[in-house]
Amino acid sequence: MTLAFAKPADSAIPIHVVDKDGLDDALAGLTAAQQNWASAQGFSAALGQVVQLPDDQGGIAQVLVGYGTAAKRARGRFHMGAVAAKLPHGVYTIAGGLTGAALEEAALAWLLAGYSFDRYAGPAKPIAELIAPKGIDAGRIEIIATGEALTRDLINTPASDMGPDELEDAARSLAHAHGAKMHVITGDDLIPSNFPMIHAVGRASDRVPRLIDMRWGDTGPQLTLVGKGVCFDTGGLNIKPGSSMGLMKKDMGGAATVMGLAHMIMGLRLPLRLRVLIPAVENSISGNAFRPQDILTSRKGLTVEINNTDAEGRLVLADALTLSDEDDPALVISMATLTGAARVAVGPDLAPFYTDDDGHAAAIAMAAAKVADPVWRMPFHEPYEAMIEPGIADLDNAPSGGFAGSITAALFLRRFVESPYMHFDIYGWQPSARPSRPKGGVGMGARAVLEALPQLLKL
């Protein structure tokens, strides 16, 4: 879905955002009747508090929104998204109280609050509309919000309607919208094309595996995005219990996130060459499924002992990462819903990321704080390399013991990349509704990467 600001209107209702320190000044600027009304409503500028001040005809003259204290605001984000959901339908404008990055976050929060996944249940009730605030790049924010909506739509779609073929269709639509080129290698053609691990993981499904390869741009440094596209994960022969399989429609969240990020990059016409690689498979169970103790030979030539068929995402990513390296990109970024260990470490709200480059890490961290897209750096801890070396093959796809699962998965992936590399082990799911983030699929890390790209690629 497209998320956009309202067209300017003379009848737009002004919103005044008031923090605790500015409460007295804000009340002093009201008429006596309005002061009495605000007092009667108990307005104290508490975070998220909303008071509608009436006009002489019983309509809304203006809205006061509490912005609380800096300490309270730091315990959450997208606070204006909650405000958008509380107001009656109409057209509003932010008339005061926010500037700079805070105003940009508020505008984005308002647009994202308008997101709903209505493919199966019908359209949701529309929320209040916002005119783009003065002083922001409205077009940029609309592109970012629409990219996030694309990610959410893809993750939220159940596997019955989002298999490898439908994921390819979504990528083709994205490529067509931006004039990008697409090349797809499908099914048994993966074998002579030397993508053996993508084929091995996906061959048990009648929805054939594929490698999606999208290119855009003719000049500038090359950025290659690699997204895990496991459209459903049964766990394979190491079948998941039902409680763990329930959310596996989101196991293509990495692919969905890089596609949303690609929309942002192409929509903003950034001066770079973009490549998007998505190994799209369904990890199913049948007589030809790959097995525990199989040894697979990757595109890179490294052999991998399979000690758990439920650790399949790193296998398909490995072949795609090897391909990504072959045309010498300036930076490779992979995104994947890869490990439960990452969720145990940082929970559902943080996107852990790995890089060997301290400058890249600093750029991502600063960008993430600026755009309210929280991340946390994790280490490529060299002493754990021995944990992914089984002895019978070059690599082990699922080291025993259960320790450092996210780190060992990241170390596994790093073996297949020589170019500058960054990996995000994301969750891709909002477990309970928060401002501007309904329960369901959600993008993680994409806006931080977008904001950091000028530093990462010296644009």
Give the list of residues 6+ apart from residue 22 with CB closer than 8 angstroms, or none.
45, 97
Q: Report the chain's C-alpha Rg in angstroms.
A: 24
Give the list of residues 6+ apart from residue 441 with CB closer than 8 angstroms, or none.
117, 151, 152, 153, 154, 155, 156, 250, 253, 256, 428, 429, 430
Helix (H) or strand (E) holding 282: strand 273-283
- Which of 86, 140, 240, 434 is catalytic? The answer is 240
72 classed as catalytic: no
CA proximity to 252, closest of 441, 3, 101: 441
- Which of 299, 314, 343, 414 is catalytic? The answer is 314
Tokens of 346: 């940082």
Tokens of 312: 């399949």
Helix then strand then coil, % of the chain, to nearest 5: 40, 20, 40
Q: Where are the beta strands (DSSP E) in 306-394?
A: 331-336, 351-355, 375-378
240 classed as catalytic: yes
CA 113, 115, 120, 123 torsion-angle sign:
positive
The total of other beta-carbon atoms located within 10 Å of residue 451's CB is 20
Distance of alpha carbon 97 from alpha carbon 133, whole angstroms: 12
Task: List residues with catalytic annotation.
Answer: 240, 314
